[in-house]
């Protein structure tokens, strides 16, 4: 077992047992119908260890990530609750985390979040009371010290496996590993990267990360995803903040015969996983198959990652409240 | 080129100016204390706002960390990131939100490398912002120490020296 068990979720157990973990993004519905979430989960066919519930990604409103996570947990599956700092201040966030933990959520991915201008309601007020570093540290304080950021004690601390994002493909490149070190110091137990289409850049980044020993302090998962075709790849690289897709990838998608483009996109995604698996310090893959969720089982199988391992649950010690420790 | 951007591209000079202003304020502290911090805050918040806005596009957060962020105001990042850069930086190093503007944190990192004394502080984790200090003088807040106060749960981890930048390759 690698490191100390924090929440004991399926996702954490798979990683700590030394398996190459697989997670996928659940596209939250624009609906109030829980069946839509369950359908989405069903489409993935149990091919992943945990399901990321996005928090209004790209500043587009959908069903809340807390609700999607809770519905996932109700199915006996393992959600990763994404929290963005864009829409909520520190008071709302800490309350949401307690509520989510009460509903069976154990993994939380802490994000700064895309700006409001990336979405369809750019008139909205941006909050950003916290940045992702503050969010990570605050949740770690809640978990490890059993208190709110203010120092007010919790009677039951949430058991959390904390994650953060990283974008090795965005400037300033030399600063990215330092920022990763900060996130790990702040509280990140696992990392999911932005979409990777550039293996040489990932290798360069991971070399620095490994030299700094960061891969031993947190589980680093490569972000990947299938593209529908050249046109959608161009749209994504133009419109989704922080996504780099090299021309060679777009050209390859364009060159694929009509009707076979999505197949080529899937092939590229599988190749990215397989190449990333060879890189020292990569512990898993995070699949973002936006509107292509049905491809996830095939991607996992073709990458040689099926069936998913079963790791028996272990007891995680209760964090005692600190009220008697002279706080307050 | 505006005065502000010219100045910001000379972080070493700004760093020295910061150092001497800081020690001047510290020397004047007994006098300021006698006059009253609140009264002095009322006198200098305006001029401080004007001059720092000109030089740094300052947002008067009241808890200045310029010397830890490459003499670049992190509050001028549209996401107010105290610990950037976010993952949305464009291929040309420009801001996700304002495409015409270079990313504040790309500039902060570049400038921190040119600084002599405080450059490595860019690897510190800055604590959450105390929004109650907005609009007040950061210099006065430095003297009273209110700018260093952090939420109770945060105590002891207010800035974390993650690593010395000189230790890594550039």
Residue A324, pLDDT score:
42
CA distance A75 to chain B (A): 32
Chain B residue set in contact with A, beta carbons under 8 Å: 78-91, 93, 96-97, 103, 105-106, 109-110, 122-123, 125-129, 131, 151-155, 157, 160, 162-163, 165, 168-170
Is the CB of A10 inside 8 Å of chain B's CB atoms?
no
**pLDDT tens track for B4-18:** 888 888 999 999 999
Residue A101 maps to a domain: yes
- Is there a domain that residue A5 lies in? no
Distance CA A286, CA A289 (A): 10
In-domain check, residue A133: yes
Q: What is the pLDDT of residue B156?
A: 58
d(CA B107, nearest CA chain A) in Å: 9
Nearest-Cα distance to chain B for A58, in Å, is 11
| Mean pLDDT, rounded, of chain B | 90
Helix residue ranges per DSSP H, chain A: 10-16, 34-44, 65-74, 90-102, 132-144, 176-186, 199-211, 230-239, 247-255, 261-277, 296-302
Question: Which portions of chain A are predicted below pLDDT 70?
Answer: 321-328
Q: What is the pLDDT of residue B162?
A: 56
Q: CATH number of the domain that A131 lies in?
A: 3.20.20.220
Going by C-alpha positions, the residue among B67, B37, B36 that lies closest to residue B141 is B37
CB contact under 8 A, B79 and A131: yes
Query: pLDDT tens for residues B28-62?
Result: 999 999 999 999 999 999 999 999 999 999 999 99
What integer pLDDT is reported at residue A322 of this predicted model? 60
Helix, strand, coil shares of chain A as percentages rounded to 5?
A: 40, 15, 45
Local confidence band at B159 (pLDDT 50, 70, 90 cut-offs): low
Q: What is the pLDDT of residues A146-179, one digit of tens each?
A: 999 999 999 999 999 999 999 999 999 999 999 9
Please identify among residues 68-87 of chain A the ones whose CB lies closer than 8 Å to any CB of chain B.
Answer: 86
Chain A residue with Cα closest to B93: A171
pLDDT of residue A241: 86
pLDDT digit string, tens, across residues A246-299:
999 999 999 999 999 999 999 999 999 999 999 999 999 999 999 999 999 999
**Where do the structural domains in chain B lie, given as residue ranges?**
3-167
The pLDDT value given to residue B167: 41
Confidence of residue B80 (pLDDT cuts 50, 70, 90): very high
ipTM of the complex, rounded to two decimals: 0.92
- Domain boundaries, position A115: 10-325
Count the domains in chain A.
Answer: 1
Distance from the B79 Cα atom to the nearest Cα atom in chain A, whole angstroms: 6
What is the average pLDDT across B115-131? 93
For residues B161 and A24, the model is more confident at A24
């Amino acid at each position: 077992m690698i490191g100390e068990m924090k929440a004991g979720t399926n996702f954490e157990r798979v990683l700590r047992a030394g398996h190459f973990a697989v997670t996928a993004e659940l596209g939250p519905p624009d609906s109030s119908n829980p069946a839509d979430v369950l359908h989405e989960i069903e489409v993935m066919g149990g091919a992943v260890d945990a399901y990321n519930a996005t928090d209004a990604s790209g500043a587009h409103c959908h069903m809340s990530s807390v609700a999607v996570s809770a519905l996932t947990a109700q199915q006996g599956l393992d959600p990763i609750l994404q929290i963005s700092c864009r829409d909520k201040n520190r008071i709302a966030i800490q309350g949401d985390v307690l509520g989510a933990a009460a509903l069976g959520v154990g993994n939380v991915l802490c994000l700064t979040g895309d700006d409001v201008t990336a979405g369809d309601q750019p008139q909205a007020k941006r909050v950003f009371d916290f940045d992702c570093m503050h969010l990570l540290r605050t949740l770690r304080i809640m978990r490890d010290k059993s208190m709110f950021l203010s120092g007010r004690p919790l009677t039951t601390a949430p058991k959390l496996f904390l994650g953060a994002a990283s974008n090795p493909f965005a400037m300033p490149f030399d600063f990215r590993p330092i920022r990763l070190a900060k996130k790990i110091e702040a509280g990140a137990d696992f990392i999911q990267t932005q979409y990777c289409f550039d293996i040489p850049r990932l290798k360069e980044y991971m070399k620095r990360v490994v030299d700094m020993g960061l891969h031993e302090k947190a589980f680093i998962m490569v972000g990947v995803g299938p593209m529908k075709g050249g046109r959608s790849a161009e749209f994504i690289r133009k419109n989704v903040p922080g996504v780099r897709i090299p021309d060679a990838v777009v050209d390859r998608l364009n060159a694929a015969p009509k009707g076979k483009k999505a197949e080529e996109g899937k092939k590229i995604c599988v190749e990215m996983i397989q190449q990333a698996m060879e890189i020292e310090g990569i512990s898993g893959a995070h699949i973002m198959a936006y509107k292509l969720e049905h491809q996830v089982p095939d991607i996992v199988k073709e990458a040689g990652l099926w069936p998913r391992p079963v790791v028996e649950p272990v007891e995680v010690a209760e964090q005692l409240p600190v009220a008697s420790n002279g706080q307050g | 080129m505006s005065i502000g951007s010219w100045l910001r591209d000379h972080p070493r000079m700004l760093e020295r100016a910061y150092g001497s202003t800081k020690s001047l304020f510290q020397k004047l502290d007994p006098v300021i204390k006698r006059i009253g911090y609140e009264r002095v805050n009322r006198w200098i918040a305006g001029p401080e706002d004007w001059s720092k806005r000109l030089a740094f596009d300052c947002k008067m957060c009241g808890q200045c960390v310029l010397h830890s962020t490459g003499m670049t105001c992190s509050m001028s990042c549209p996401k107010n990131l105290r610990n950037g850069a976010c993952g949305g930086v464009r291929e040309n190093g420009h801001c996700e939100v304002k495409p015409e503007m270079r990313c504040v944190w790309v500039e902060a990192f570049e400038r921190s490398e040119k600084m002599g004394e405080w450059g490595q502080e860019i690897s510190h984790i800055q604590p959450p912002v105390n929004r109650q200090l907005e609009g007040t003088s950061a210099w006065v807040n430095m003297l009273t120490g209110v700018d260093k106060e952090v939420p109770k749960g945060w105590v002891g981890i207010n800035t974390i020296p993650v690593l010395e930048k000189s230790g890594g390759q550039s």
